[in-house]
Structure 1
Amino acid sequence: MADVEAAVRASINADRDCTEQALAQMDLRQKINLLVGEWKAAGGGDVLPDVRDRMRLRLKKSVGHPKRANTRR
């Protein structure tokens, strides 16, 4: 999904048509919403992680390990 969002931003910044990428992005968001709805209907009640939580965890892990801070995941 991040790749599609980046493609939309790049097209917009270059003043090009991004209709196909934007439609693909909306389709992915709709699929995610459906999956979350199915998960909740199946009894899922946990708080789902968001990007900010993942970034905080990544920063905490790399504070004591300088080698990890330089590697991409």
Structure 2
Amino acid sequence: MTLIEASIRDQVNRDLDCSEASYRLMAMRAEVAELIVRWKAAGGGERLPTVRERLSRSFEDRAGAKVKVDKAKKPGASHSNARV
């Protein structure tokens, strides 16, 4: 959705017709609204995160998924990635 919004801004800034992209964006927003209605009808009642909150959580999840190093196990000389 953000890509289409950026496309619309770009088209407006260049004084181009943005009606097609606008129709696609309105259809996406209508679909999201329908999904929220279904979610609430199914018992969903918690606050939905904003885009900024969702993106920051995704970033934290990726940053937090670091490889754990086993300090008891030391690699030998045969495991070196260095080029000679």
TM-score, length basis structure 2 = 0.63
User: 1:51 matched to which residue of 2?
Assistant: 51
Q: Distance in 1 between matches of 2:55 and 2:32?
A: 20
Larger Rg: 2
Secondary structure at the aligned position of 1:17 is classed as coil
Root-mean-square deviation (CA, aligned residues, Å) is: 2.0
Number of aligned residues: 62
Question: 1: distance between equivalents of 2:54 and 2:37?
Answer: 22
Gaps of 5+ in 2: 61-84
Identity of aligned residues (%): 41
TM-score normalised according to structure 1 size: 0.72
Runs in 1 of length 4+ with deviation above 3 angstroms?
Answer: 54-58
The SS at the match of 1:44 is coil
2: distance between equivalents of 1:54 and 1:39?
17
Q: CA deviation at 1:51?
A: 2.0
More helix by share: 1
